[in-house]
Chain A
Amino acid sequence: MTTVQNTIARIEVAEEHRKSESLTTKALRRLRKDKLTLMAMAVILVLVALAALAPVIEGQLGVSYTQVQTESRFLPFGSFPNILGTDDLGRDHLARLLYGGRVSLSIAFFAAMLSIVIGVSLGMITGYYGGIIDDVVNWFISTLNSIPQLFLLLIISALFIRTTTDSGVFPLILVLGLLGWTGTTRLVRGETLSLREREYVVAARAMGANPLRIMFVHILPNLFSVIIITLMIDLGSLIIAEATLSFLGLGVKPPEPTWGNMLQSARDYFNRGVHLVIMPGLLIFITVLCLYVIGDGLRDAFDPTAKE
């Protein structure tokens, strides 16, 4: 009799425990079952690892991403040792893709970080304080958003990046990061507006916590899911933005390879080097696709209204 009751009690405790599971735990459990998202994460990890290992791979294959070799221009796929062939200057295509990936991925990563930091701080401040700061920031955002985004990027890049003497990686990160925060700000502001009225925030305020503490200790952790989802989508759009600018000749300058500027030079060699058109774009496409899939997967996993 007692054992049965013990068992029942234990089940009840277990159920109670399961119910009180935090949203993050629940999300992680859901994510483990989401094969598609996991696969996309794996692909991204592989791509990042390959890009990081670019010098090693280059060394092992005995090829070079900078060495110009006029006698072996436009080698097709499957040559040796240039597995993916060579480009218009005889440089190894695979090595250039890997090094290009390094540049493209780091630009997207650092620009995303910059825009997230700006977006989240401004979003929390405007959402928490409201009033005149909120009005001014909102006015600024709607002004910035009224200018067609790509056009603004083009102009700023043309004016500022083209005049730098180096490859233009650092200014590009700044430009992309400083222009990309508006969406995050709006999102975070909305979340903060509702979080501000929660009991625990009111309680913290009643106990005399200062606004900075409330924002960082009580509001920020609750924005985690929003931030991580935005980060994934942002990374995807930033990779496209970088590629677009570099493709148009307004981003990273050759000889520094990125997936975008590799396509720019490939466009002139439609006849002799079709492989040069296909691969960089394919890598951009796969990376962005995976990031969007991860973003969607995370959104579903963190959705508090979703049923098990």
Chain B
Amino acid sequence: MIKYTLRRLFQAIPTFFGITILSYLLLWFAPGDPVSLLTFSPSTTPADRERLAARLGVNDPITVQYLRWLAGDDWMRIDDDGDNISDRCFILPCDADGDGVNEPPGERYGIIRGDFGRSFTRPRNVIDLIAERIPATLELGAISLMLGLVVGVPTGIFAAVRKGSGFDNFTRVSSVVFSAVPIFWLGLILILLFGRVLFPNLSPNPFMLGGQCPPVLIGGCPPLQGRLLYIFLPAFVLAAQVIAVYSRFMRASMLDVIGQDYMRTAHSKGLSRRTVWFRHGARNALIPLATFLGPAITGLLGGAVLTETIFSWPGLGRLGFESVIQQDYPMVMAFVIIGSLATIVGYILSDILYALIDPRIRFD
């Protein structure tokens, strides 16, 4: 088991490096350079520009820049005697600008040590900005995932058990409907419905406001009870497709299990139908659901961008979207890396969970 986990982790390393290279190249080819982005003020002198370029290291070769971003430059230029002038240098020349004085020592730790640099648009470290938005998205994502499991799974099981019934047809149609509806439009329509049609006189209307208050997990304004009203619509919108996917998947999985020999055996032993369906059937039908954990994380992160933007939810999705719009490169890179890491971890957890639940799967 441990060996299996280690091997899966080991396999993830090339994927992770692929992502870092891919995202670095992407931004390298992107039009516009960070220096001109940061110095749009007309009073900036060319000398200031040069200094900024040197500080950001944009004139170094791409491989050096990539390496600095990945692993930091505190080991590239080392200051031994504390005079803020580097004494030992690797890869980079100590005196880059040729003025006879060595450059200051490197101060960056690189993304593999959690240093994503500073945001271009906000005067803070990227990692802090992201960390303070995590609770809001976690709250939204966890509730949506829970809704998806609590509603989607039983729906799928019942639909399979009562195949061809009215309930089955109804859930099948709604699952196609909810996978086809664009979630941003669903959000708009729900805001319209709840804010204008159903509760036009509520002021302030929690359905219209979305997340005007910080979420509970970081000490938000309304108590949990009031909070539920705020989170109701965004969580529903985010959960709608999760429910649709899970119920469809569970139905197929349960139908597959119902056709198995051991189900017939259980029936013929005279067990009650409920026991057969739920103890012998549903438990086996649930196993493949473990593979959904990985895709679920990606899906929720992607969905969060839209849901949070529409409902002004102060989470990661909205921050990510704003960073993209503002071309805040360090933030965007951090989002790509962290989002991908979450996905990779999700997939690994899926595999391990799958192997743990189903003893027929061998670890080697």
A residues near B, CB below 8 A?
139-140, 142-152, 154-156, 158-160, 163, 236, 240, 243-244, 247-250, 263, 267, 270, 274, 277-278, 280-281, 284-285, 288-289, 291-293, 296
Contacts and interface: CB of A to CB of B under 8 A. Distances in A.
A151 B320 contact: yes
B34 interface: no
Given A151-B320, A159-B31, 12 more contacts: A139-B18, A147-B343, A240-B182, A243-B185, A244-B182, A249-B325, A267-B188, A277-B188, A278-B189, A280-B185, A285-B181, A289-B181
B82 interface: no
A155 to B, nearest CB: 6
A150 B176 contact: no
Interface string B160-192: 000000000000000011011110110011011
Contacts of A160: 30-31
B125 interface: no
A144 B15 CA distance: 9
A147 B336 contact: yes
The interface residues of chain A, by DSSP majority, are classed as helix
A75 to B, nearest CB: 19
Interface stretch (B85-93, B94-102, B280-288, B299-307): B299-307
A293 B176 contact: yes
B26 interface: yes
A163 B182 contact: no
A151 B179 contact: no
Given A146-B15, A292-B176, A292-B180, A151 B185 contact: no
B324 interface: yes
B32 interface: yes
Closest 9 CB pairs of A and B: A281-B185, A143-B18, A150-B302, A289-B180, A159-B30, A288-B180, A146-B340, A158-B324, A148-B339
B335 interface: yes
Contacts of B184: 243-244, 247, 263
Nearest to A287: B180
- Secondary structure class of chain B's binding surface, majority of residues: helix
A240 B180 CA distance: 8
B219 interface: no
The interface size bin for chain B is: 35 or more
A293 B18 CA distance: 37
A145 B14 CA distance: 14
B306 to A, nearest CB: 7
B302 A151 contact: yes
Contacts of B343: 145-148
B291 interface: no
A146 B320 CA distance: 17
A263 B185 contact: yes
A155 B340 contact: no
B327 interface: yes
Contact of B19 (A147, A154, A278): A147
B321 A147 contact: no
B176 A155 contact: no
Given A263-B188, A270-B192, A139 B180 contact: no
B15 A154 contact: no
B309 interface: yes
Contacts of A158: 324-325, 327
B179 A292 contact: yes
A289 B177 contact: yes
Interface in B332-347: 332, 335-336, 339-340, 343-344, 347
A200 to B, nearest CB: 31
Contacts of B27: 159
16 contacts: A146-B340, A147-B343, A148-B302, A148-B339, A154-B324, A156-B26, A159-B27, A159-B327, A163-B31, A250-B325, A263-B185, A270-B191, A289-B180, A291-B180, A293-B176, A296-B176
Nearest to B301: A148
B26 A155 contact: yes
A142 B16 CA distance: 10
Contacts of A146: 15, 19, 298, 340, 343-344, 347
B22 interface: yes
Interface string B12-39: 0011001100110011001110000000
